[in-house]
Amino acid sequence: RRSSDLIKLSRDSEAFLIGSLKRYAAEELDLEMGELKAKLFLAYVLKEIGPSVYNQAVAQAQPRLEHAQEAGE
């Protein structure tokens, strides 16, 4: 995949997620993860896992949106 295919995060969201990954690694895996490793891991997750999660979320939301639109007509 191209880097342009990656999900774009705001700086605040990226910082929050990097902190979350570092905490998880320390608490659950007994692994100290530096800033760079956490950032690279986040990029990997967004590239490899993000599209599947996004597609599933859209698929689950679509019927609800259609129902809401029909109810509003």
pLDDT digits (tens, 9 = 90+) for 2-55: 554 567 899 999 999 999 999 999 999 999 999 999 999 999 999 999 989 989
Residue 66 has pLDDT above 90, yes or no: no
CA angle 39, 50, 26 (to 5 degrees): 40
pTM of the complete model: 0.74
Residue 65 has pLDDT above 90, yes or no: no
Distance set, CA 67 to CA 58, 59, 62, 63, 72 (Å): 14, 13, 9, 6, 9
